[in-house]
Each structure stands twice: as C-alpha cells, then as structure tokens.
Structure 1
C-alpha cells in the first residue's frame, strides 16, 4: 500500500478531523517555545553565573525555528491564515530563511521528494556519502552560504528557478532586500555592542549541527521512489525532540498527508504505523546507520 491508498482508506469523518487546524494548539506550543527562547536569551544577556552554558540550548531553539517556518509554509500550525503568514515571516529573520521563497522551494520538495535531480533539497547533488562531506554538511556552511547566495540573487539578480512562480518574483525580491538591510544593520550594531553576537550569531552557529543531523534523518538513506511512506522517514523519539520539531519526526506521515497540522500527526500515525517502510528508533540509531553507510 502506498501513501495514496493509505490516505484514501481513512474514513472521511476521521480525515476531516485530522485536518482540523487550531489557533489554541498552535499558540500554546508557540508560547512554550518562546518562553524557552526568552529564558535562555535573558540568562545570556544578563550574564548570569555560568551563562555560556545557555548558548547551546538557545542555539538549538533558534535553529529549530526552521520546523515552524516549514509548518507555516503549509498554513497548518494556526487556523487563521494571517497568523501563519505573519509568524512565518517573523521567524525567517533569525534563521535567514526567506519565507515566500521557501514556501515554493518546499512545495517543489513535496512534489519531487527524494528525486535525485528534481528535488530542490538535493539540487542534483547527493547527500554526504563520505566523512569530509558529512562534516562540512554538519557545520552548516552549505546552508549559510546557500542562503546568502539565495538572498543576494533574489534581491539583485534573476529569480529563475522553475518552481518559483513569476507572480511572486516581486514579493521575493522585496523580502530579500528587507532581510539584507536588517542583517546589515545587525552587523553594524556589533561595533557598538556584542549583544547580538552572544544571543544570535554565536548560538545559531552552535545549534546548526543539531538541526542538520535532524534534517538528514528525514530522507537520508530512503529510496528515490514516489511512495511517501518509503521516501520519508518517521523517527521514534522523545517528547523534547518532538516539541522542538513541532512533531515533524512523524515525517512520513507529514509527507503522506501534508494538510494535517502538527498537533494531529500523532493521531495520523495511528493510521500509518503498520504501513511505514522507513523508520528509525531514535536519532542516535539513524546517525549510527548513516555513519556506517559512509565510504
């Protein structure tokens, strides 16, 4: 059974319930997330005793905003569309991920998941298959340089990727220019105070390897086939990781039925668990398997 047959087999009333969005669920999750960000940021800004120990948790919280941005591209974390738009744009700032551009990039990823040539996440280049490539990938260097190139190209060059619709080119150009102006101002501020370095620049560099390992598990070592239950991995993990990632460790479920909001993915998993073809018992388990696959 592939993902289409599986979703078709779910009774319509259940399917409707699974797709039900909730402002309350989304805002409560976001409030808890922001509380963690605020607490760690405050400890660093006030330089409480042993304040450097908060750099890593702050960095992890910052970089995992990616998963909320991802959810907002699907318009699923909140019932109100304007909430998804505003929050999606705001959280693009600390992670340098232009939201309008990312929406269409990500839609193309869903259409061509794990296709070696057409999936924009691969861009015709396989995932790391040796130690040097893996270490470079985990450093975040390809991500930061890739986003810098994307912002500059969107702002001043030609927006020409086939998955980026022409009517949105102007919005992408405006978005990129605003982000570049903001980042320029942030860099200039470092000449007057190091605060942003300690509560933003340094933490996101520290946190990036954790996000890279998490993302590698979503499709790494999965076959390049059309079945979403096979080309995407569900990773069984603890509540903390599921909280950080807005339940996206249920990734095969998400790809099989993208209209299901994050808070309903555990319920969707009850319908898919027997049919999942790519799973791992935790991220350490997946990482070990991936490392053993390296040349």
Structure 2
C-alpha cells in the first residue's frame, strides 16, 4: 500500500487545516510548566524532595521545548510563517537548538529518513552496546555534539553541509551568533548579580531533563528499517497523555513522517487511519527499550553504507 493511499484525499484535507489555538495553548502551558517548576526549585526553605520535583519538571519542560521547536520548524503549529519561525527560535533558545539550522537539517532528515549515508541523524553514533546505550541516554553525546555543532555554526566551514546552501549560510550563522549572544548576556548578568541564574535555572534543569528526551527520541527510528518505506523506517509509540502533551504528539512519529504537513493536533486522528498499516507500532517506551536492549548490535548501520 502506498503512503498516499493511507488517508483519503478528503480526510487529509480536513486534517491539514492549520489553527492557532492548539499551538498557542500548548506553548503557553509548556512555558508555565517550566516557570512553575523553576519557582518550586528556587524555594530554599521548602522540603528538598519537593524542590527536586520542581527541578525535574522544569528540566523536562526545557528539554521537551525541542518538540515545539520541531513542530514550528515544519511551520504547521501556527498559521503564520513568521509566528512559527519566532516560536521555533524561542523554543530552540530554551532547549539549546538553533532553529534556523535545525529546520534545514530536519528537512533533509525527512527527505532521507533512516537511509544510511543520506539521513543526517545517522551521522551520530548508534548505541550498539550497553555502555554506549547508557551514554546516549545520559545526554553526554547530545551535550558534546551541541558544543561541536555551535562551534561549526559560528566559525566552521559550512559549505560542505549538504542541507545548507550558499544563500542560507549567512542567515544560519547570524542566527547562531544571536543565540550565543543571548547566552553570553545571561552568563554576564548571572555573574554580575551573583545569582547563578544561567547555571541553576537553565543549564542544571536542562541537564536533568535531557535523559527523558533522549529516552523518547531514541525510540523514533532505532531498530526500524534502513529503507525509504515510511511505514517501516519509523516507529509510533502509544504512550500516556502527559508524554504526548510534553512531546507535542511526536510519539505519533510514523504518522508525522508519512504526512509531515499535518499539524500536531491532527496526528491522533491520523493515527486511527494509519496505525493498522505500520510495521512498528509499540505499546509504551519501556517496551520499546526492552526490545532495543535485547539486540543492541542490530542498531548498527548496514555494512558498506558509507555513513559516518
């Protein structure tokens, strides 16, 4: 069955309707979660377990700003392109992604999903052993990779990056410098005031929340087919409403890859039609990770794929 046959044209047209309300509500509530968690974490006189819960919520909220960035990068969250781009940049700032570069990177990922040598996501090492798996979940690979990525965006040679062309490279570099400038300003204010805001209320929470995001994202394509078949190279994971909320419905990942023009709020309805046709449809992230752990060497890229 072809991808186009999974959803009838009339139904697809109805699901493709962009609306501002769902994204505005999701964005506002996401920012409120971060703020509320940060306020609880800041209460020095409150019981430590309660403060740590606030730290965790703040961190999970910051890390999963990536999900909103992802949706806005598709320009499907809001009706306005400018509003999508502005929201994406803000959410990227909070989650340590550069939205301008990520949008081009992600377009390439959709074009060549899980195809070795073509999909830029596969340039990152695959966790084919237990130590590598634990290192991936810790967020270490992500942090170290981000530092290298920003160094490249700021000073490196971008001419060989396949998803960046000569016209967009100056725009991407300006965006990266502006973002790093905001971080440096926050660092300076934190040092002058002596409040350590950047460390205690952004870096530390993001460090705490990043393993949750890694746990979710590792399930999206790991263990799936290294092919161009959208029903086989991506996994949909059925999970709790809270995880779907934090991730802007990204657990319906195969549906998203098959129909990337669908806004996040339409993915549950699309799943009702697409779900029966998916090769990888799993009940919960714990089950997915048990399957991955049972055969980590299978996550290795095919021999001779030419991928990094």
Q: What TM-score, normalized to structure 1? A: 0.94
Distance 1:126 1:200, change over 3 A: closer
User: What is the match of residue 16 of structure 1?
Assistant: 13
Report the alpha carbon displacement of residue 146 of structure 1 after superposing the two structures with TM: 1.6
Report the alpha carbon displacement of residue 190 of structure 1 after superposing the two structures with TM: 4.1
Q: RMSD of aligned C-alpha atoms?
A: 1.5
1:33-62 alpha-carbon deviations (Å, 9 max, x no partner) = 222112111112343513233111111111
User: What is the match of residue 75 of structure 1?
Assistant: 75
CA distance in structure 2 between the partners assigned to 1:171 and 1:38 by the alignment? 31
Where 1:280 maps in the other structure, the secondary structure is strand
Give 5+ residue unaligned stretches, structure 2. Answer: 298-308
CA distance in structure 1 between the partners assigned to 2:60 and 2:104 by the alignment? 25
**Residue 159 (structure 1) aligned with residue 158 (structure 2):** yes
Where 2:120 maps in the other structure, the secondary structure is coil
User: What is the match of residue 274 of structure 1?
Assistant: 276
CA distance in structure 1 between the partners assigned to 2:238 and 2:149 by the alignment? 33
Count the aligned residue pairs. Answer: 291
Where 1:116 maps in the other structure, the secondary structure is coil
Where 2:147 maps in the other structure, the secondary structure is helix
CA distance in structure 2 between the partners assigned to 1:163 and 1:147 by the alignment? 17
CA distance in structure 2 between the partners assigned to 1:134 and 1:188 by the alignment? 36
CA distance in structure 2 between the partners assigned to 1:88 and 1:220 by the alignment? 26
User: What is the match of residue 139 of structure 1?
Assistant: 138
Distance 1:117 1:226, change over 3 A: same
1:189-247 alpha-carbon deviations (Å, 9 max, x no partner) = 44321233221111111111111110010001001111111100000111000000000
- Paired residues of 1:116 and 1:126 also in contact (CA < 8 A): no
Where 1:218 maps in the other structure, the secondary structure is coil
CA distance in structure 2 between the partners assigned to 1:48 and 1:39 by the alignment? 16
CA distance in structure 1 between the partners assigned to 2:125 and 2:258 by the alignment? 23
Choose 137-146 or 187-196, whichever is displaced more: 187-196
- Paired residues of 2:249 and 2:265 also in contact (CA < 8 A): yes
Give 5+ residue unaligned stretches, structure 1. Answer: none
Report the alpha carbon displacement of residue 157 of structure 1 after superposing the two structures with TM: 2.0
Where 2:249 maps in the other structure, the secondary structure is coil
